[in-house]
Structure 1
């Protein structure tokens, strides 16, 4: 099992100890460092800035939002970071949700699967650099020939030769169709709120994608990276309580009413009544009650909390369930060291 440090996205200001965390993670045997974006900080700049102090860990976006950049621009970001890091970039992409895509980026959200497929195809064309990049799909046209075009667009290849044509592209996906497409066209899957209890369901979704004609990878070649809070502690109850506000927010407050992909994920895990309660309470502004409505079982399904022996046992369970990498959020160097020691990562 590989362990990655999930830096996430920034709040009101940059985390003051992020560089310290990155260096500690590399020294403690972590495999990778990932950064995210929402509608504030971006995912690439922190990796370039803090990653410049590292020599070994992979540097991944988890996730870069498809609506934030054109496919060609995203490919430029990835090939630049890959060169600067000596081939350590992992390009994680995701569609986000309609509130962010249409409200923040001013772009349409409809048909996210088809949009993602075109996006990935263009990024791969740029990285392959075999011919000028063209795309005549419904979502991205290269050269552009739509409204406002003056007809002078020219297909281009990147001036800079990409370091790796096969730079890994991972997709963040939650629903069955998204996960199946991820298995078909990507090199890895970034799973949010993964639960080994329903691993069979996930494997069925993945298998559908791998079975499609022209699928890029086999299951053995594909990497599953799951976001998972791992906490080594003798007081698991206290640590569960710390995670419940975030879970309540994602279940009850992230996404538009009737279109919250996180809530649907927990429904598929047979927590329909919990989701209904949390969504209702959150919508009524009763946030403390929404947090209290998240049972311990939900936390234990998607997180690993306990003493060192419990952590080792449960990490082994996640690995057996098909997870290759755990992306762990750590805000203190002591947290990194405790995870490393429990799992015997070494330096």
Structure 2
């Protein structure tokens, strides 16, 4: 089982211990370090800055939002990072949600599957650098010939030669169609909330994508990276309490009330009534009550909490179900090293 350090996106300010955690992950044998973006800090700049102090870990975006930049701009950032790191970049992409896409980026959210397919195709054309990049659209037409165009657009190839044409592209996905698409066109799947209970369902979605004509990879060479919080402790109850507010935010307050993909995921786990209650409380401003309404069982399904032996047993279960990497968060360098030490015995 590989380990990835998930730094996430920033809150009101820069996280204080991130630089030290990145170095600790590099020294402790982690496979990769990831950053994220929402509507504040961007995903590439912290990764390049902190990653400059590393020598071994891969540097991944988890995720770069499609609407934050055009596919050619994403390819430019990825190939630049790949050169700077000596071939260690992973381009993780995701559609985000309508609240962010339409409210922050000022772009339509519709047709996320078609947009993702087209976006990835253009990125791969840039990285291949076999010919000037063109795209028939309709979402990212190149050259642009629509309303307001001067008619002078010219197909171009990147000036900078990409270090790797096969720079890995992973997709963040939660629903069945998006997960199947990841298996079809990508090199890996970034699972936001993984549940061993739903592993059979996840694997059926992945297998559907692997079976499609032209699928890039098979189960044997496809990476499944699952976000998870790992807490080695004899006081599981206290750890559960620390996780409840985060789950309440994602289930009840993240995204639009009418379209919250995280809430849909928790419903598929069998927590529909919990989601309804948490959402009502969270939207009413009663966030502490919303957190209290998150049951231990939901926390236990999506986080690894317990003694070292219990955590190692759960890691093995996830590995047996097809997870190849655990993307873990951390508070400081000591915790980063501790997780690596515990899992080294698996």
TM-score, with structure 1 as normaliser = 0.98
SS of residue paired to 1:305: strand
Kindly indicate whether the alpha-carbon contact (under 8 Å) linking 1:194 and 1:226 is maintained by their aligned counterparts in 2. yes
Q: What's the counterpart of residue 190 of structure 1?
A: 190
Aligned equivalents of 2:25, 2:182: Cα separation in 1: 28
Aligned equivalents of 2:138, 2:117: Cα separation in 1: 11
Greater Cα offset, 50-59 or 274-283: 274-283
Q: What's the counterpart of residue 247 of structure 1?
A: 247
| 1:271 CA displacement | 0.8
Aligned equivalents of 1:137, 1:255: Cα separation in 2: 27
| 1:232 CA displacement | 1.1
SS of residue paired to 1:304: strand
| 1:237 CA displacement | 1.0
SS of residue paired to 1:228: strand
SS of residue paired to 2:270: coil
Kindly indicate whether the alpha-carbon contact (under 8 Å) linking 1:29 and 1:345 is maintained by their aligned counterparts in 2. no
SS of residue paired to 2:259: coil
| 1:345 CA displacement | 7.3
Query: Any stretches of 5+ residues in structure 2 without a counterpart?
Result: none
SS of residue paired to 1:141: coil
Specify whether residues 66 and 312 from structure 1 end up closer, same or farther in structure 2 by C-alpha distance, changes over 3 A only. same
| 1:288 CA displacement | 1.1
2:222 pairs with 1:236: no
Aligned equivalents of 1:299, 1:321: Cα separation in 2: 19
How do residues 79-94 of structure 1 correspond to structure 2 at under 5 angstroms?
79-94=79-94
Query: Any stretches of 5+ residues in structure 1 without a counterpart?
Result: none
2:96 pairs with 1:111: no
| 1:59 CA displacement | 0.2
Kindly indicate whether the alpha-carbon contact (under 8 Å) linking 2:92 and 2:171 is maintained by their aligned counterparts in 1. yes
| Structure 1 segments of 4+ aligned residues over 3 angstroms from their partners | none
Q: What's the counterpart of residue 153 of structure 1?
A: 153
Q: What's the counterpart of residue 334 of structure 2?
A: 334
How do residues 58-97 of structure 1 correspond to structure 2 at under 5 angstroms?
58-97=58-97
| 1:281 CA displacement | 1.2
Q: What's the counterpart of residue 315 of structure 1?
A: 315
Kindly indicate whether the alpha-carbon contact (under 8 Å) linking 2:174 and 2:265 is maintained by their aligned counterparts in 1. yes
TM-superposition CA deviations, 1:22-76 (whole Å, max 9, x none): 0111111111100000011111111110101100000000000000000000000
TM-superposition CA deviations, 1:119-139 (whole Å, max 9, x none): 000000000000000001210
Kindly indicate whether the alpha-carbon contact (under 8 Å) linking 2:18 and 2:332 is maintained by their aligned counterparts in 1. no
Aligned equivalents of 1:33, 1:48: Cα separation in 2: 11
Aligned equivalents of 2:282, 2:143: Cα separation in 1: 46
Aligned equivalents of 1:261, 1:244: Cα separation in 2: 18
Kindly indicate whether the alpha-carbon contact (under 8 Å) linking 2:196 and 2:321 is maintained by their aligned counterparts in 1. yes
How do residues 42-57 of structure 1 correspond to structure 2 at under 5 angstroms?
42-57=42-57
Aligned equivalents of 2:105, 2:345: Cα separation in 1: 40
Q: What's the counterpart of residue 15 of structure 1?
A: 15
| 1:311 CA displacement | 1.1
Q: What's the counterpart of residue 268 of structure 1?
A: 268
Q: What's the counterpart of residue 36 of structure 1?
A: 36
| 1:242 CA displacement | 0.5
Aligned equivalents of 2:98, 2:61: Cα separation in 1: 20
| 1:335 CA displacement | 1.1
Greater Cα offset, 24-33 or 169-178: 24-33
| 1:336 CA displacement | 1.1
Q: What's the counterpart of residue 282 of structure 1?
A: 282
Kindly indicate whether the alpha-carbon contact (under 8 Å) linking 2:195 and 2:301 is maintained by their aligned counterparts in 1. yes
2:129 pairs with 1:137: no
Aligned equivalents of 1:239, 1:61: Cα separation in 2: 27
TM-score, with structure 2 as normaliser = 0.99
Aligned equivalents of 2:77, 2:88: Cα separation in 1: 13
Kindly indicate whether the alpha-carbon contact (under 8 Å) linking 1:187 and 1:216 is maintained by their aligned counterparts in 2. yes
SS of residue paired to 2:106: coil
How many residue pairs match? The answer is 346
TM-superposition CA deviations, 1:61-113 (whole Å, max 9, x none): 00000000000000000000000000000000000001110111111100010
Aligned equivalents of 2:150, 2:333: Cα separation in 1: 55
Aligned equivalents of 2:334, 2:315: Cα separation in 1: 19
Give the CA RMSD over aligned residues.
Answer: 1.0
